[in-house]
Amino acid sequence: MISAGAAGHDSRLTDHESPITNYGDIMRTDSECIFCKIVTGDVPCFKLYEDDQTIAFMDINPANEGHTLVIPKEHWEDVYAISPELLAATVQTVQKIARVVNQTLNPDGINLVQANGKGAAQSVQHFHMHILPRRVGDEVKLNWGLHPGDMDAVKDVCERVKRNLPV
Ligand code: DGP
CA of 62 to the centre of ligand 1 (A): 9
User: What pLDDT does residue 77 have?
Assistant: 96
Each residue's pLDDT tens digit in the chain (167 positions)? 665 544 333 333 334 444 444 445 558 999 999 999 999 999 999 999 999 999 999 999 999 999 999 999 999 999 999 999 999 999 999 999 999 999 999 999 999 999 999 999 999 999 999 999 999 999 998 876 788 999 999 999 999 999 999 87
Is the distance from the beta carbon of residue 74 to the nearest atom of ligand 1 less than 6 Å? no
Query: What gap in Å lies between CA 80 and CA 127, rounded to an integer?
Result: 9
Residue 139 in any domain: the answer is yes
Active site residue 128: yes
Residue 12 in any domain: the answer is no
- Residue 103: exposure state from Cβ atoms within 10 A (0-12, 13-18, ≥19): exposed
Q: Please report, for residues 5, 30, 55, 88, 125, the alpha-carbon distance to residue 74 in angstroms, rounded to integers and kept in the order given.
A: 11, 9, 10, 14, 12
Rg of the chain taking only CA atoms, in angstroms: 15
**33 with 76: CB under 8 angstroms?**
no
Residue 1 in any domain: the answer is no
Task: Give the domain CATH number at 97.
Answer: 3.30.428.10
Residue 32 in any domain: the answer is yes
In the chain, the number of structural domains is 1
Residue 156 in any domain: the answer is yes
Q: Which domain holds residue 41?
A: 20-163
Residue 157 in any domain: the answer is yes
Question: Which listed residue (126, 128, 130, 147) is catalytic?
Answer: 128
